[in-house]
Structure 1
Amino acid sequence: MRRYPRLLLLALAGCTLTAAVAATRRPNIVLILADDLGYGDLGCYGQTQIPTPHIDRLAREGMRFTQFYAGAPVCAPSRNVLMTGQHTGHTQIRGNAKVDLRPEDITLAQVLKSAGYFTALYGKWGLGSENSAAPPRKKGFDAFFGYLDQTHAHNYYPSFLVRDEQRVPLRNVVPQEGRYGQGVAATRLDYSHDLIADAALTTLARQTSARPFFLYLAFTLPHANNEKSPDGMEVPDLGAFARTAWPGPEKGFAAMVARLDRDVGRVLSQLKAAGLDDNTIVILTSDNGPHREGGHDADFFNSRGSLRGYKRDLYEGGIRVPFVVRWPGHIGAGQSSDFVGYLGDVMATLAELAGASPPAHLDSLSFAPTLLGRAAAQPPHEFLYWEFYEGRSAQAVRFGDWKAVRSPWAPAPSSSTTSPLTARRRRTSPPPIPPRWSAPAPGWTKPTSPPRSGPRRGEKIRRWRARASPAACTAVTPLSCAPCCSPRSWAPAPPSAQPHPPSFPASSTTVPCSCPTSGRSVPRAARSRSATSP
């Protein structure tokens, strides 16, 4: 009987919170997602050669996060994580294959639309192809203009873009155009990013305080046109960078980042002109780490900072991304946070701030307490988890200041290749491994072949995800360290097994071993970094 007063108190608290949300004007939301923008590509994260004054202003007037992660090391699965609030152990898309969201996948746009928001997407979707059940208009967006397919989005001078679900012809001519619209234009008249940014600003100019809005700007800058390598950094003009002595692709990359920054400034100016500035949350982040495509060298501008790895790596450089949030009057200016989060947390956070109800069973933790100056009340993640199926595949988990990375389909360890850490005595020991991570899930069986980069259309994701071998490489190291390999098995749980991450052998934490995963040396600065360093 004693439980009833407690239930009554909880009900009253819920009513009070609901009333408070209803009485408060719900914030507008502008979510800007750059494409392949590295942790070190912005002035507010240490970039010195490419000016980014407007994005730096966001950081000065808001909060900059130093330990925030992408959902995956490439675009499609990372966007799946962002839109659904689930990590890649649960998402439908785990590589850049042609896989669509399922009907049961609830997106952030659907959550906010159900709370009365106008929702619009401008830029790259990548989660539902033409004539599928998952274009943006069927996944919660009231308006869409841009690219449905990530391969199509390589081409900055395409022959068409998509508005809602209809193709819009452009004046560009693309000889030998690929199946998805990719290719290299011979006649270049309409630059896609400019068209997308202009359309977004037109929609923004129509918004009023009468109805809250969610504007998702999934810009494609500074991604390369991979089909145009080794000169794939397509941009209409190089601006001030034309006068530098840099290689052509680096001039193009710098011009792309500057163009992205320019349009962030245009968004901020439009919000101010419309009187919406003080009640709009503006978020800027990236879908993964810096690329080495289109002739661009990610180390030329130190795009990964002092982190190890690049796009397609589950090391820090491949998934730690810039994340800046501004909300005048609510988020204190000039703050820096070391909260450990990832793009999947955006779902729970924005739902809470908007007074919306997210789906149950998400891998999403609201960091609203951190944003609103109540860091002491912020619960931490128990762990963050990633899995990625391209090439040899990869899995990673971060818990506390420790991180493990393994490649289930890497070759067997070789005595001829040695990890830089083999001879280095660690000064700290990893924390105890939770018992539920330390044994294979019931029913797991050894597969007979490695996974492809993605399942064929219509193939069940369960069959694809269950394919992973007893481990060739296991790592349990501080974030400051390179991975260490062990022949001991680390068998992943099948998709039906809960919870994630998969099994994790405690014995792998102390065994000296050699690592076949890379012949590249790890810079001393990367090896010595602390997990709490930016």
Structure 2
Amino acid sequence: MTPRPNIVLIYADDLGWGDLGCFGAEDVPTPHLDALCRRGVKLTQWYANSPVCSPSRASLLTGRYPEHAGVEAILGGSRTTPGLPPQPTLASRLRDRGYRTGIFGKWHLGADPAFAPGRYGFDEVFGFRAGCVDYYSHIFYWGSRAPIHDLWDGEDEVWLNGEYLTTVIGRRAADFITRSAAPRAEGAAPFFCYVPFNAPHYPMHAPAEHMARVAHLPPGRRETAAMIAALDDAIGEILRALEEAGADQDTIVVFSSDNGPSRESRNWLGGEEISYHGGSSGGLRGAKGSVFEGGIRVPGIITWPARLPAGAELTDPGMMMDLLPTLLHASDGCAPDLPDVDGVSVLAALRDPTAPRPERTLHWTYEGQWALRRGRHKLVVDAREGMDPPATTPRALFDLAADPAESHDLGDLPGISDALEHELAALRERHAAPA
């Protein structure tokens, strides 16, 4: 029997589609991610399931749309905040298949201990439970609420004052890989290492050495670029751990982001009440909080040297919810039967990105906004440009192949507009129905 592959799933936070060198950024040093992209499949039409953090993470771990996973809004950070309703997750399903599982980084699916990640299939846990923390004190600040320290090793609160969290997360994940990969030659269990970094989410903190690497950039972009450079270095440590353990060839490595770049004024440490433009959507319209492409299309990379081609591109639309069935497909050697899951396995497409595949309709909804994509066409309703109202576009239809920036409303197209409107009406009716 072919051994099950190890899986390393790396998730960035508020990283835009245009924030990596391999996705067109010319001002941010990301050598480790660029090299990873060259070794695997670049996902050029890859989407988060939501334009904000918590719902995206719920979809990633459950393989379900946010409304089916039970998390449709950004969750709070008080120690009584409930989270993801109990259900199977990628971690629990892999653990049932004999995997050793670990999470290192941002949870954001419930800060109450009853909703901690150890309840959802993770054997080893390190990180924080809220949506953002200070990178050096690891304290959660939000508005007028009292600051809350939020760093956990398993169920134990730990203090690492002054240690830069991105670096710590990379180091802890690398250590888990080293410990888990070493016994593989003796027939030990494969491992699943989930690494949801909080970079480059605000607060905008970066070590002096990384700020120096991008000192030529203007304020705003400089801080974001430095945080991404530190993120890339931490990912480099994770990849080195795989190589040094001799596990890189039969390990699936996935990299993506939870939503587009933040334009929130909170990114400015000086308290300016103006939009922040340090992150890049790569020319796509909108940002975090928007169902335009800039809020939901994210960089995606997947490598599996033993099974997937190097230097390939998958141009089919896919979503984070597709990872659960895809990774279980890779683990089992056959497509899993998952009637409760909305995602589909894209393993066959990754193996042969040129093979024809049936189209499907993808959808997004967040705070009254709606978007549907089928093939090259996308319908948006009550869409806004970022986190804050009002909506700027009551209704528009775009051809993403010809107009990825969503600048030209096609109006009505025979056979397309009606079909998408019909699907949207059905979605809205189901969404409004009591659970």
Q: Please say whether Structure 1 and Structure 2 have the same fold, judged by a TM-score greater than 0.5.
A: yes
Q: Does 1:405 align with 2:380?
A: yes
- The structural deviation recorded for 1:436 is 9.4
Query: Which one of 66, 85, 108 corresponds to residue 102 of structure 1?
Result: 85
Runs of 4+ off more than 6 Å = 408-415, 420-427
In structure 2, the residue corresponding to 1:344 is in which secondary structure?
helix
- Write out aligned runs for 1:443-458 (5 A): none
- Aligned twin of 2:19: 41
Distance change >3 Å, CA 192–CA 376, structure 1 → 2:
same
- Alignment RMSD: 3.1
- The structural deviation recorded for 1:266 is 1.4
Q: Does 1:262 align with 2:233?
A: yes
Instruction: Give the aligned residue type for 1:35.
Output: D
- Aligned twin of 2:349: 370
- Aligned twin of 2:331: 354
Query: Which one of 98, 111, 116 corresponds to residue 135 of structure 1?
Result: 116
Stretches of structure 2 lacking an aligned partner (at least 5 in a row): 77-81, 139-148, 270-274, 395-404
- The structural deviation recorded for 1:359 is 4.0
Q: Does 1:330 align with 2:267?
A: no
- Aligned twin of 2:174: 201
- Aligned twin of 2:246: 275
Query: Which one of 99, 115, 123 corresponds to residue 117 of structure 1?
Result: 99
Q: State the alpha-carbon separation in 2 of the partners of residues 305 and 82 from structure 1.
A: 23
In structure 1, the residue corresponding to 2:151 is in which secondary structure?
strand
Instruction: Give the aligned residue type for 1:108.
Output: L
TM-score, normalising length: structure 1 = 0.67
Q: Would you say the 8 A contact 2:44–2:299 is kept in 1?
A: yes
- Aligned twin of 1:230: none
Q: Would you say the 8 A contact 1:89–1:495 is kept in 2?
A: no
Q: State the alpha-carbon separation in 2 of the partners of residues 359 and 203 from structure 1.
A: 29
User: CA-to-partner distance for each residue in 1:235-284, whole Å, 9 max, x for gaps?
Assistant: 12243646734344332211111111112211111111101011001111
Distance change >3 Å, CA 430–CA 292, structure 1 → 2:
farther
The higher relative CO (CA closer than 8 Å, separation ≥ 6) is in 2
**Bigger Rg, structure 1 or 2:** 1
Q: Does 1:295 align with 2:268?
A: yes
- The structural deviation recorded for 1:361 is 2.4
Q: State the alpha-carbon separation in 1 of the partners of residues 407 and 177 from structure 2.
A: 55
Distance change >3 Å, CA 431–CA 330, structure 1 → 2:
same
Q: State the alpha-carbon separation in 2 of the partners of residues 55 and 414 from structure 1.
A: 35
Distance change >3 Å, CA 493–CA 354, structure 1 → 2:
same
Q: State the alpha-carbon separation in 2 of the partners of residues 239 and 325 from structure 1.
A: 26
- Aligned twin of 2:400: none
Q: State the alpha-carbon separation in 1 of the partners of residues 259 and 66 from structure 2.
A: 14
User: CA-to-partner distance for each residue in 1:292-325, whole Å, 9 max, x for gaps?
Assistant: 2412976556x11121000100000000000001
Aligned residues: 393
Stretches of structure 1 lacking an aligned partner (at least 5 in a row): 1-22, 172-188, 226-232, 442-489, 499-534
- The structural deviation recorded for 1:155 is 4.9
- Aligned twin of 2:292: 315
Distance change >3 Å, CA 372–CA 245, structure 1 → 2:
closer
Query: Larger % of strand: which?
Result: 2
Instruction: Give the aligned residue type for 1:347.
Output: L
Instruction: Give the aligned residue type for 1:96.
Output: I
Instruction: Give the aligned residue type for 1:201.
Output: A
User: CA-to-partner distance for each residue in 1:470-506, whole Å, 9 max, x for gaps?
Assistant: xxxxxxxxxxxxxxxxxxxx954345589xxxxxxxx
In structure 2, the residue corresponding to 1:86 is in which secondary structure?
coil
Distance change >3 Å, CA 204–CA 299, structure 1 → 2:
same
- Aligned twin of 2:70: 92
Q: Would you say the 8 A contact 2:75–2:131 is kept in 1?
A: no
- Write out aligned runs for 1:134-533 (5 A): 134-151=115-132, 153=133, 155-158=135-138, 159-171=149-161, 189-208=162-181, 209=184, 210-225=188-203, 233-239=204-210, 241=212, 244-293=215-264, 294-295=267-268, 299=277, 303-355=280-332, 357=336, 359-373=338-352, 375-376=354-355, 378-380=357-359, 382-389=360-367, 393-407=368-382, 429=414, 431=416, 433-434=418-419, 437=422, 492-494=429-431, 496=433
TM-score, normalising length: structure 2 = 0.82
- Indicate the percent of aligned positions where both proteins have the same amino acid: 35
- Aligned twin of 2:272: none
Distance change >3 Å, CA 405–CA 154, structure 1 → 2:
farther
Instruction: Give the aligned residue type for 2:199.
Output: L
- The structural deviation recorded for 1:126 is 0.8
Q: State the alpha-carbon separation in 1 of the partners of residues 406 and 177 from structure 2.
A: 52
